[in-house]
Every structure is written in structure tokens, then in C-alpha cells.
Structure 1
């Protein structure tokens, strides 16, 4: 009997896991141990799309290498997906703010303007050799334009005080408290949450896996 196809998410992001679950995919999760600044320095990248992609690749490949020894690893191997998001504003890449002061400063520069949220995706085919395994490692970037509301100083201070902006790339969410401060998006909204489902479906197709193969059984 062929083992079911399982997706292993190389991310600690609850929003990414929740997005997959809402789409019928129950991911396994193993958080990468990647030193993000060190990776960016090693590759020497500065373009926001390149930063997002090399970090996604590093995370996926780190987790794929460690998965075999992980407790509870299922038979049949896995498909590993790593993601990383950066916000591009004025040609500069912004990840998670270092502290509340930086988050507030960034928001004052973002409000009433538009930026582009780039999410890098990297897929590693780490399935075992008893099926249609490709051994592929491939990736792509999904980009979505985000239009920010002209938020008041008082609203920004209250938002930053919640701590939410400190935990996410670009210092905002679409699916959380920050949703009221986003006027609209152009592109895949899943990308803004952290994992673009249409792009992931295309990457899976390149290794011979249908999106529906990942759907968890329904009761």
C-alpha cells in the first residue's frame, strides 16, 4: 500500500499552519534552526525577492536534513515546504521589527502608502524511494501589493502595544489585529498571511503531486 503524501511545514508560524488547515491540509511541523542574518550575508543578497527565496530555501533544506531523525517521522517520507516573507517599501526589505520602537517607526512610514509583500516558497521532495519520488528541490516567490490605511498615531501605539507587529514580517497582519489597517491587496491574500496556496499547488504539480492528494480525510 502506498503511504499517504504528507506535507512538512518548516515554520513556527501558526498563521501558515492555520492557512493550510483551512484549505484541507493537515501539515506536520518542524521548525528550522536557520540563522537568518547569517544566511542573507552568506548569499550576499539584498533584493527583497531574493532575500525571501534564499531564506525559504535554507529553512526547507535544514528541516529536510533533520527530519529523518525526528521523533514521529511517518513512513514514506515527506514533502518539505519552507517559507519566508519580507515587505518591500522603497526598494528595501523589511522582516520582523527588532522592537516596539522600530515597529512604530516603520508603521509611521507605511501608513497611507503601499508596499509589496514577497513570500518565498521552497519545496524539497524528501519522500522515500518506493514511490514516484523526484528528489527535487525547487522554489518561487509570490508577491502581493498591500495598501495600508492612514492610521493615527494613537491607533499605531495601541497596535504596537499588543505585541503582534513584533512577530510578523513587515510589522502587520492581514488575518489578525492588523487587518483593520489594510485597505486592500492586489494579488493572492494567502501570500500576505505567509504561504501562497496557488503557488504551492504549482510547485507540488512539478513533483507530480496533486493538491487534492494532500487533503486530510474527512470524517
Structure 2
């Protein structure tokens, strides 16, 4: 089970690196984000590549859930618990986010670009749900990676393993803060087409 989890992780990690790079580039402005995304999509929107990535995510979720249940059943140490919890949230986010993206593409016939996310983050009411939803996903990803790095080096270079864990989590916290501040319009003015706000019609 762990072996399958690691194999699928390679494909998922490659996609997430590209995806996060796209979002970090978007901190400059939304137009730059979309320009980069248009080029990147030539790779990951290829039918074969997209299917491989989706299957890798599915395998990650199934094997990850089994590993998380084992960690909780055996009541392993705090860092294993943290790794399991962050992994479960990432899996929850992946399932719901992909379902939303699919609905936007197929039902509403809109391009699932950064405007889709920003519209929700800036919409009155929805922001109180979506800011924690996206922020926790970004932070959980870094926490999960920090736990993995700790696990890799803990037997041979334990001080280094702690340093990598703290550093990765710290960077994750900073990146999460900067991305949320930027994509909620607190860094520079964001111009979002009106049709994306229409996806979040209920104000509460």
C-alpha cells in the first residue's frame, strides 16, 4: 500500500509543482497567471496526461486513506497523526475542487481559470467559507510535505529533519498568507469578469 502511495505521489507532486508555480506567478497579476496557465495546459490538459494525473490522484486518495486509518488505529506519534490529518484534508479538497472544476467546465461552459477562484474569495458571504477552504488546503500541502521530509531524514540526520519540518511549515504559512491576501484583492486591484461572480449567487 505504501509503495503504491509513493509511486502515485511522483505524478501528483509533478502536477502540484506546476500548479503551485502557476499560482505563485499569479501573485504578480492575474493576466500573467493566465498566460502561464495557457502554456502549462498544453501539457497537463492533454487527454493522456490528464487521465494519468487524475488516476494518480485517485490512487493517492485511496492508498492515503488506508494509511491514515492505519496511523489512527495504531495511535502513532503526533507527526504521523499530523501527516495523516493533512493528507486527509488534501484528499477532501482534491475531490471537491475537481468536482467543482468539472461542473464549471461542463455545466456552465466557463473556463476554469483563476477568475473562478478569485470571484468566490471576493464574494460577500462566500469568502468566509472559501478563504479557510483554500487557505487550509495550501497550508496542509506544506505540512504534509514537511512531515514527509522529517520522516526521510529522522533516522540519519534528526536535527536536519526537524529543521526541514519547521522550515517547510513556516514557508507554507507565509505562502498561504500571501496568496490569500493577493487573491482577495488586498495587494492590488483584481478585475474579474462578471460571469464568474454569477457562479456564487447567494450572499449570506
> Which structure's residues are more often strand, by fraction?
1
TM-score (norm 1): 0.27
> Which structure's residues are more often helix, by fraction?
2
TM-score (norm 2): 0.28
